[in-house]
């Protein structure tokens, strides 16, 4: 097809779905893609995979110059082998200069597979990307050493490929006009599936990276019963935020009080909520590496010397057993 092989300098963004909606990370990626396409003097492209996705393709078209709609019944749910094969086929047709994905759970599996298939390099968990040397290089910046430093990596093998950490950038603005929608038909079948989802364990899967607010407990929570105060605070905050989650630092996970999916830090999840309330958390670098992108951090700790206060926007020194009930009462307007 001529519209697929036309020579252009393309920045390809992988849109992500949450059921029948576009995931918020997509709009951050498009914001980055818009800047890269300007520097590259190229075309901002988006691809979306799924089944019966015409409405989603039309929505994304308000943010892109071109949208490649990969519509297939086998792409209804994420399956890494099929997604990798479909995206490889697209890339070998449109030859993008740059491919950018979100640094999300699915893409931790997908991005390396696609990079291998395309014979290129990949830098993951970036917080900033820049085009250099007239489009020959991609400068990727990412946190290292438990978020204590930012390292820069230069890649030059095309397609230049990276994953971007959620919460790193602002969303792109919606345009009145729509970009061109191209229907690309991937050649896939079930024989390509080498991995299989056996079972989802109820209660173990938590999307902390999608939370608007997080209440997290640490070593200062004296017993498993203390989690009830935190859970009550989570419930009250749902009056103010669409999605509120309970999180924890490593000591509570090691104690078996909460599943690993609720751990935040260098060995857990990374999140960038609008509000992060740290309760009984000292503030070790390993934990801070997972939450420093938070818009507002509130720390509650009885130790006024706790390092967490250095990173907090607001701090309360005191026993959480006294502070949390008073906070809940205030939030309820009692």
The answer as to whether 116 is a domain residue is yes
Q: What is the pLDDT of residue 1?
A: 40
Is the four-CA dihedral 110, 120, 164, 253 of positive or negative sign? positive
Q: 301 is in which domain, residue-wise?
A: 208-331
What 3-state DSSP class applies to 208? helix
With the CA atoms of 134, 41, 25 and 264 taken in that order, what torsion angle do they form, in degrees rounded to the nearest 10? 20
Read off the CATH number of the domain in which 278 is found: 3.40.50.1220
Read off the CATH number of the domain in which 46 is found: 3.40.50.620
Q: Are residues 186 and 304 in the same domain?
A: no
Residues for the chain: how many in total?
334
Q: Are residues 56 and 100 in the same domain?
A: yes
The answer as to whether 248 is a domain residue is yes
Q: Are residues 114 and 62 in the same domain?
A: yes
Q: What is the pLDDT of residue 148?
A: 72
**Domain count along the chain:** 2
Q: What is the pLDDT of residue 16?
A: 93
Q: Are residues 225 and 183 in the same domain?
A: no
Contact between residue 74 and residue 190 where contact means Cβ atoms under 8 Å apart: yes
Q: What is the pLDDT of residue 266?
A: 79
The answer as to whether 197 is a domain residue is no
Spatial separation of the C-alpha atoms in residues 281 and 302, rounded to whole Å: 10
pLDDT in tens, the chain (334 residues): 444 556 789 999 999 998 889 998 899 999 999 999 999 999 999 999 999 999 999 999 999 999 999 999 999 999 999 999 999 999 999 999 999 999 988 999 999 999 999 999 999 999 899 998 777 899 999 988 767 788 999 999 999 999 998 876 777 888 889 999 999 999 998 888 888 777 766 655 677 888 999 999 999 998 999 999 999 999 999 999 999 999 999 999 999 999 888 999 877 888 889 999 999 999 998 898 888 789 999 999 999 999 999 999 999 999 999 999 999 999 998 5
Q: Are residues 11 and 98 in the same domain?
A: yes
**In sequence order, what DSSP letters do the residues of 8-65 get, joined into one string?**
--EEEEE--EETTEE-THHHHHHHHHHHHHHHHT-EEEEEEEESS-HHHHHHHTTS-S
Residue that terminates a domain, selected from 165, 192, 219: 192
pTM score, whole prediction: 0.76
The answer as to whether 56 is a domain residue is yes
The answer as to whether 86 is a domain residue is yes
Q: Are residues 143 and 238 in the same domain?
A: no
Residue that terminates a domain, selected from 192, 223, 238: 192
Spatial separation of the C-alpha atoms in residues 305 and 159, rounded to whole Å: 48
The H helix count followed by the E strand count for the chain is 10, 17
Q: Are residues 182 and 214 in the same domain?
A: no
Q: What is the pLDDT of residue 34?
A: 93
Q: Are residues 213 and 139 in the same domain?
A: no
Q: What is the pLDDT of residue 105?
A: 84
Q: From the CB of residue 44, how many other CB atoms can be counted at a distance below 10 Å? A: 23
Residue that terminates a domain, selected from 137, 163, 192: 192
Q: What is the pLDDT of residue 52?
A: 93
């Amino acid at each position: 097809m001529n519209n697929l092989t036309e020579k252009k300098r393309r920045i390809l963004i992988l849109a992500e779905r949450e059921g029948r909606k576009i995931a918020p990370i997509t709009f951050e990626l498009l914001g980055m893609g818009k800047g890269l396409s300007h520097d590259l003097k190229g075309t901002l492209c988006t691809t979306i995979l799924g089944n019966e996705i015409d409405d989603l393709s039309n929505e994304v078209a308000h943010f892109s110059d071109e949208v490649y709609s990969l519509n297939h019944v086998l792409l209804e749910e994420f399956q890494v082998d099929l997604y990798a094969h479909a995206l490889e086929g697209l890339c070998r047709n449109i030859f993008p200069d740059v491919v950018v994905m979100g640094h999300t759970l699915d893409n931790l599996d997908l991005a390396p597979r696609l990079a291998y298939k395309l014979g290129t390099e990949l830098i993951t968990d970036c917080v900033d990307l820049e085009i250099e040397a007239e489009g020959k290089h991609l400068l990727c910046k990412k946190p290292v050493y438990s978020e204590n430093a930012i390292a820069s990596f230069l890649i030059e093998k095309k397609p230049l490929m990276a994953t971007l950490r959620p919460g790193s950038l602002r969303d792109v603005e919606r345009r009145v006009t729509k970009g061109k929608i191209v229907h690309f038909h991937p050649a896939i079948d079930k024989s390509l599936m080498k991995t299989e989802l056996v079972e989802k364990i109820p209660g173990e899967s938590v999307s902390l990276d999608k939370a608007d607010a997080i209440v997290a407990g640490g070593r200062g929570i004296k017993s498993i019963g203390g989690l009830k105060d935190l859970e009550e605070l989570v419930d009250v905050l749902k009056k103010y935020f669409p999605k509120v989650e309970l999180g924890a630092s490593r000591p509570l996970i090691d104690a078996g009080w909460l599943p690993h999916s609720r751990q935040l830090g260098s060995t857990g999840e990374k999140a960038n909520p609008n509000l992060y309330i740290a309760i009984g958390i000292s503030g070790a670098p390993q934990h801070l590496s997972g939450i420093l992108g938070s818009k507002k951090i509130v720390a509650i700790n009885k130790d006024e010397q706790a390092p967490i206060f250095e990173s907090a926007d607001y701090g309360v020194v005191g026993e959480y057993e006294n502070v949390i009930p008073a906070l809940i009462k205030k939030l309820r307007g009692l």
